[in-house]
Amino acid sequence: MYVAFALLADAANVAVDGKLNILGVFDALHAASFPAVHPRVNLVARFKGQASDVGTHRLGLQVTGPGGATLLGHEAQLNIQALPAGVTDVDIPLVQTFDLPLERPGPHTVLLLLDGRVVAQLPLAVQGTGAAPVPAFQPPPGTLLS
């Protein structure tokens, strides 16, 4: 089994037909002050599995901060059922939502582990701004947008 892709997003879900819907992909965050918590981060991944992957696997999530300190860790089980006749591989979508603790600015890393080995490593740049980021466009108060 391997990871076809993995990313961080503001929102994601899996539709009834198995399609992944992803909104707001990012690899950097800003915080006005530290420590902080960035709410509802979505780790989105698509695994590709084959008949040889049938069974139970350990799936892990680990977030490390500057200097390698572990800020968050979670483990779950991934159960892969037998593939139907004639099917050689299967898409396995994953959406894991979590609140991300941020102790200080600097390079962070989000790790996705499968059976104890790292299968995706996502860099996350965390910066302090002293104030909330300002949107690029701000209409005057009372302006109606069409």
* CATH code where residue 62 lies: 2.60.40.2550
Residue 105's pLDDT band, with cuts at 50, 70 and 90, is very high
- Global pTM? 0.83
Domain count along the chain: 1
Residue 65's pLDDT band, with cuts at 50, 70 and 90, is very high
Is 117 inside any structural domain?
A: yes
Tell me which residue range forms the domain holding 41. Answer: 2-128
Is 72 inside any structural domain?
A: yes
Alpha helix segments (H runs only) across the chain: none
88 — phi, psi (to 5°)? Answer: -100, -25
Is 74 inside any structural domain?
A: yes
Three-class DSSP category at 74 = strand
Output the pLDDT for position 18. Answer: 85
d(CA 115, CA 32): 37
pLDDT digits (tens, 9 = 90+) for 32-53: 999 999 999 999 999 999 999 9
Three-class DSSP category at 2 = strand
Is 134 inside any structural domain?
A: no
Is 140 inside any structural domain?
A: no
Output the pLDDT for position 21. Answer: 96
Is 137 inside any structural domain?
A: no
Is 141 inside any structural domain?
A: no
- The contacts of residue 141 (CB under 8 Å, 6+ apart) are none
Is 55 inside any structural domain?
A: yes
